Structure 1
Amino acid sequence: MKALLLMFLTFFSGCYSDNENNKKLEEKDMSLITSKDNEIKPVKLAIFPIGMASNTYFFELSSDGIIEVKVGIRRSIDIEDANFIEPSESMNKKLSTPEQESIVKLVEEIEKDKTVLEKALRKGGWEVIISIDNNKYNFNYGDYMDISYGKLVKLMIEYSPLEVDIHAHKPLNHFRQFSLKLI
Structure 2
Amino acid sequence: MGTITKVALIALLWITAVNPGAIYGDSLIRLNMAHAWWTGTEEISVPPNYKPKSRLSPVGVLGVGGKRYIPYEVGQSILMLPGDWLGTQLHQVFPQIELSFLRRLVVSFLIFLPLNVAVVVSCFWLLRVFDFEERLAGIASITWLLSTTVFNYAQVPSQNNQVLLFVTLGYAAALACVRRGRLHLALFSGLASGGDKRP
TM-score bin (small chain): under 0.3
The two structures have a TM-score, normalised by structure 1, of: 0.25
Kindly name which structure, 1 or 2, has the bigger radius of gyration based on alpha carbons: 1
- Would you tell me which structure has more helix in proportion to its own residues? 2
